[in-house]
Amino acid sequence: MTGDDEGGGPPASAEEPAPATPNSSTAVSSPEEAQTTSTVVGVHASQSTLWVQVKRGKPEMKVDVDGRLRHANWPESATTLFLGDVCEALLRCFGAHEPPSVTQPPGFDQQKWKMVIRDTTLRIEVHSRSYWGFGLFDSCFLNELVMDGPLDRRSRLAFDLVATLGRNPWEPKFGLMWKRGTGANPEQHRKAWEELLAHASEQMTEDIQLHQDRLNDLERRLDEFEEGGHESWSRDSAEASLVLADHHLETARGALHDRNATAVERALGRVEASLIEADPTTEVSRTPFQLGEDLLLEEAVEVDEEALKEQILVHEELPEETHRSVPTEIATATDDVAADDLLTGVDDEPVDSIPFVDLTESE
């Protein structure tokens, strides 16, 4: 019997939960593990929580005095941290943003830190820590990503992150310790990631289908455009533009299959340009360069013929005996003259030889 039973303590309530046993699913091995256990969240209205296996600890970065993440060559003395391949890829996929704020700087372990990356619509809190092997290897670490923002933006970022890493980021190095460190089994991690990836893929598939519908509609209206007598529009050029647009749509589908969202956007941009050229109702039948050439036509620019006549200016010629000394000739002629030569004969000239002029007579 326990001390409470012997001492007549208050009886246990019927609603009080039973104490956890070592085999219970609610048991934790340490207080630190209890604090870090979290739930994996994929598609949600406002927030997603994902866990990523780190493969490489570099690059090395700096934290300035204001707690901002800086490059390794930051001139001021600052704290050093190892960013890891996951967070490095995340910063590349995030887009334009202010310098990340390091909310928990690293200590002795330079790969254990917390930072916040944000812009006007999305905020990501990144936790980096080890989950096995006491952090002796790069693969001992994981990154927890807590994303707050629109679902389309979160799913697109997860899509780009998987494509940049080139691997499944939810697959751990050490499965048993991964489950204990994250509080979720591998199936839950895979499901959360694939939910976001599927949502992003659906959005891009819809964009491709919208452009395909526009292409089909323009193909059906070619006869209508030809009968309408649109100026500077030809059926042959429009059909060539539509064929090119269809080729770019196939490129976009291939890029989506390869999980390359950036290539999908570039291909859809080229599709949009081809559709505009084929549609005479958009009133964009000539490129800016072609419109610039139109301005140079004689019919488009009024030019005064008198202003175009050749005018020849005739200057008065100098006499043949006139000789102009150039600076090089002057310098050559005076190279042999010394200062003593200029003073020769000054002291030898008699005073009587100097003419005397009486200025009083003029008065």
How high does pLDDT run on average in the chain?
78
CA angle 162, 166, 172 (to 5 degrees): 75
Q: Do 181 and 36 meet the contact criterion of CB atoms below 8 Å apart?
A: yes
Distance CA 193, CA 187 (A): 10
* pLDDT tier at 52, thresholds 50, 70, 90: very high
Q: For 265, phi and psi rounded to 5 degrees?
A: -65, -40
Sign of CA dihedral 205, 210, 214, 220: positive
pLDDT (average), residues 260-276: 93
Of the given ranges (80-84, 175-179, 263-267, 325-329), which has the lowest mean pLDDT? 325-329
Q: Do 54 and 142 meet the contact criterion of CB atoms below 8 Å apart?
A: yes
Q: Do 183 and 37 meet the contact criterion of CB atoms below 8 Å apart?
A: yes
Please tell me which residue, 353 or 183, carries the higher pLDDT value: 183
For the beta carbon of residue 317, count every other beta carbon within 10 angstroms.
7
pLDDT at 328: 59
Q: For 129, phi and psi rounded to 5 degrees?
A: -160, 165
At 146-199, the pLDDT tens digits run 999 999 999 999 999 999 998 999 998 877 888 888 988 889 999 999 999 999
**Of 70-79, 297-306, 323-332, highest mean pLDDT:** 70-79
Instruction: State the chain's maximal CA–CA distance in angstroms.
Output: 151
pLDDT at 138: 82
pLDDT (average), residues 252-275: 93
Name the residue with tokens 């949009």: 272
